[in-house]
Chains A and B, each alone.
Chain A
Amino acid sequence: GQNIDQPTEMTATEGAIVQINCTYQTSGFNGLFWYQQHAGEAPTFLSYNVLDGLEEKGRFSSFLSRSKGYSYLLLKELQMKDSASYLCAVLRGTYKYIFGTGTRLKVLA
């Protein structure tokens, strides 16, 4: 079956660093994606990994280990506007995403 797990909620302080983990077990893997979603809005793309290792994009980095079925999203220099849900998604086949349960991040002043 398909299984993608993330922590439900996390809290961090403005200016800090936070790591959101994602573990997955899926049949078929063409990449792992991270999306940010503010309440009541559509997800927006943050980062993706196809090969093992770290991808860095400004304040956001994402890591993948395919052998361990594990990824994380690292957010640096947290800002209040980073309070949102973060969705981990596995791309199966050419177009089909399977989304994780999402992690609600609360950034405190």
Chain B
Amino acid sequence: GAVVSQHPSRVICKSGTSVKIECRSLDFQATTMFWYRQFPKQSLMLMATSNEGSKATYEQGVEKDKFLINHASLTLSTLTVTSAHPEDSSFYICSAYDRVGSTEAFFGQGTRLTVV
């Protein structure tokens, strides 16, 4: 199947700093990627839809100024958590579809963010 690579897998940062998470489609081009957040023992919650060459679409309740999304190429989307706080500590996962019309999403390995 298609491969989505996410980096870093784990990051610890100090409160108030910013953290960038990368999501790459390795063997296909993705005009659209998705960012999810998962708190412990809870399910994935969609944060935003990342669109190549245009602004991301954010879900209700997600602060777009805090979670900056950039999708500058067909194989890379980045999520930057700005001015991180301990409550932002979570598991962040990206996903993409390998072709138009596909219904199976491929997920990155996830990034465990801990803000101290």
Interface residues of A (CB under 8 A from B): 30-31, 33, 40-45, 48, 50, 87, 91, 95-102, 104
Assess the B105–A45 pair: CB atoms within 8 A. yes
Q: Whole-angstrom distance from the CB of A11 to the nearest CB of chain B?
A: 16
Interface residues of B (CB under 8 A from A): 1, 6, 32, 34, 36, 41-46, 49, 91, 93, 97, 103-110, 112
Assess the A87–B44 pair: CB atoms within 8 A. yes
* Nearest B residue to A4, CB-CB: B43
Q: Whole-angstrom distance from the CB of B59 to the nearest CB of chain A?
A: 9
For A98, the chain B residues whose CB sits under 8 A away are 46
Assess the A97–B46 pair: CB atoms within 8 A. yes
Known: A87-B44, A97-B105. Is A40-B49 also a contact (CB below 8 A)?
no
In Å, the complex CA distance between A29 and B60 comes to: 20
Assess the B103–A40 pair: CB atoms within 8 A. no
Assess the A48–B103 pair: CB atoms within 8 A. yes
Assess the A87–B104 pair: CB atoms within 8 A. no
Partner of A99, one of B45, B104, B112: B45
